[in-house]
Amino acid sequence: MVFGLAMGGLFVLEPLVIREYFGSDSFGAIYGGLWAFETLGWAAGPYVTGYIFDITRSYNLAFIGFIFATLLATVLITFARHPRLSAI
């Protein structure tokens, strides 16, 4: 249930936050670029986790790394400011 709510929040809030911060004119380019990086991360996650498990015989280091990355992302998004709009 927690996983479902968290993933649902990601898919609902992510486009809303992007549009709020950057506007609708550049939404497609930013959202598409973001998804390219997210897809790479999701694809690499199982391989990185498996590699760490093969070396350490434990998932602890992988989970600690993912927790750290999530906390870092949370801190960065908390301090994100709206970009300045350039006068054309």
Residue 85: inside a domain: no
Residue 83: inside a domain: no
Condensed to tens digits (0 to 9), the pLDDT of residues 16-57 reads 888 888 888 889 999 999 889 889 988 999 999 999 999 999
Name the residue among 17, 12, 14, 4 with its Cα closest to residue 82: 17
- State the total domains in the chain: 1
Residue 25: inside a domain: yes
Domain of residue 22: give its range. Answer: 2-78
Q: Could you tell me the pLDDT band of residue 88, with boundaries at 50, 70 and 90?
A: low
Question: Would you say the pTM of this structure is higher than 0.75?
Answer: no
Residue 84: inside a domain: no
Per the CB < 8 A criterion, the answer to whether 5 and 13 are in contact is no
